Amino acid sequence: MDRVQLPMGIISSNSYHCREGTRSFFFLCLMLGMLCCAHPGFGAPFGPAVKITDTTRKYQLSRTSDRILAVDSKGLVHFTYWSGGISTTPGSPSYVYYRNWSVGQGWSSEESIDNSTFGSLHVGGRHPSLAVTSTDGVFVVWHDHRHCIPQGNWINNVEIYADMRPYGGSFSPSDIRLTQTSKANPGDNGYVPKVISDPDGDLTVVWYDYHLIPIFQTFSV
């Protein structure tokens, strides 16, 4: 297994194998009481569920649901999710979102993270994962359809992308491409990335890949 230091302290490694699929439409609700208990100074009981999305889009949680929410050193809760249907195309785009929550302020406004376009049309990313860096920055990764084409049913070149939100700042207007698939087969895609931050401040990103279809293996870059 190869491990290569990537820009901004990112390390990639081999990942697990799973199957891509879809999720049914649901309202995305979180327990504010749970978020309060995430900070050791709060100790509050569970509160009522608070709906933070509406019915304008098909909001969904990522398949890497254990890595979509994190608390920074100042007690700010960071959260990522996405919207989309069965497929991602310019006619039915997907979006990756971010919000944060703090005591007294509640939830921030929804921010769209992925700058994923095909020509002038938004295509989109799916299944994001989030980690907080050692400097309280927020790093989000997802798999993205911007390099796919209509002839490939918009699933022939799915790549792993990321974006960074420094503490007190904003996500950039351009994203970071982490994978460069190069095989000619239509299944040469990367899916469902997951990111973690270690005590040294390095970020590790893992995903699964169909690079050697039909022999399914995992890869690192």
For residues 158 and 125, give the distance between their C-alpha atoms in angstroms, rounded to a whole number: 9
Residue 214, CB-side half-sphere exposure with 13 Å CA sphere:
0
Query: What are the DSSP calls for 102-113, one per residue?
Result: ETTTEEPPPEE-
pLDDT above 60 for 36: no
Sign of the Cα torsion 209, 189, 91, 176 reads positive
What does the pLDDT look like over 165-218, one tens digit per residue? 999 999 999 999 999 877 776 667 889 999 999 888 899 999 988 766 655 554
**pLDDT surpassing 70 at residue 35:** no
pTM of the model: 0.78
With a CB cutoff of 8 Å and minimum separation 6, the contacts of 66 are none
Q: What confidence tens digit (pLDDT) does each residue in 84-112 have?
A: 999 999 999 999 999 999 998 999 999 99
Of the candidates 198, 47, 58, 210, which has an alpha carbon nearest to the alpha carbon of residue 126? 58
Q: Check: CB of residue 114 under 8 Å from CB of residue 172.
A: no
Q: What is the mean pLDDT of the chain?
A: 81
pLDDT band, residue 43 (cuts 50/70/90): low
List of residues 6+ apart from 30 with CB closer than 8 A = 49, 50, 52, 79
Q: Which residues of 197-213 are buried (b: 16+ CB within 10 A; e: fewer)?
A: beeeebbbbbbbbbbee
Copy the structure tokens of residue 167: 């503490």
Tokens of 183: 């095989």
| Confidence grade of residue 45 (pLDDT, cut at 50, 70, 90) | confident
Q: Rounded to the nearest 5 degrees, what angle is found at the Cα of 138, between the Cα atoms of 100 and 135?
A: 115
